[in-house]
Amino acid sequence: MRRAAVLLVAGALLLLTTGCGSSEQPTEGKPRMNMQEAAERADEILDGTFAAIRPGVHWTHGESTEGGCDVSRRRAVMTIISEERRGSFVGVVERHWTAEGYRRLGVNRSTTSPATYFETPDGFRVRLLVGGNGQAFFEAATPCVTKSAVAPPTADTVGPNYAGGDIPDPDVRSDFWSVTSPVPATPPSGSPSGR
């Protein structure tokens, strides 16, 4: 009888902590914040990612969407990334996300349209997808949090902001990312440089 009561209480607690009782309840281990705060955290994740990309790229806000208890923020890169440099671009982002303690969820190693998927320690999911035309698309999706109103993102874009309209193909050339040759291998530390 006592064991049955313990199981009943444990089951009720599980329902409460997993959000099954209400779509607005954050799940156990997820951040205790509302949708606006979660959207701002997603923006911070994207800001940090773009700061880690060197040389920097031009980008615009993509569509920001809201679910019943979650938000997705998107950005599109307006710098042309050549097919020969796409792997290096994805590698830069993956190394940054790994260094931040994000956990890899999956990867598509296609040479024409690579993609990589990670999750942050606080339950935000991030994705980078490079389209066949060399346009990179980022998304940061929040976990389920407390429902609230959500304002549009406020970060200044690098280049024109196409949010709310059609995003054109990338049209900004880069002396690094647009080059149609692979990134040169860096000599190992301590070895002589080429002469």
Model confidence pLDDT, tens digit, residues 109-125? 887 789 999 999 999 99
Give the model confidence (pLDDT) of 10-46 as tens digits: 333 222 333 333 334 444 555 589 999 999 999 999 9
| Residue 182 maps to a domain | no
| Residue 181 maps to a domain | no
Better-scored residue on pLDDT, 171 or 10? 171
| Residue 13 maps to a domain | no
For the segment 151-173, the average pLDDT, to the nearest whole number, is: 95
Better-scored residue on pLDDT, 186 or 111? 111
Q: Return d(Cα 60, Cα 39) in angstroms, integer.
A: 17
| Residue 5 maps to a domain | no
Residue-level pLDDT at 18: 31
* 81 Cβ neighbours under 8 A, 6+ residues apart: 57, 89, 130, 134, 135, 136, 170, 174, 177, 178
pTM over 0.95: no
Domain span including residue 72: 23-141
Whether 155 shows a pLDDT value over 50: the answer reads yes
Distance between terminal CA atoms of the chain?
82
| Residue 184 maps to a domain | no
| Residue 176 maps to a domain | no
- Based on the structure, what is the number of domains in the chain? 1
Q: Are 104 and 118 in contact (CB under 8 A)?
A: yes
| Residue 178 maps to a domain | no
| Residue 162 maps to a domain | no
**Residue position matching structure tokens 């931040």:** 100
| Residue 138 pLDDT class (50, 70, 90 cuts) | very high
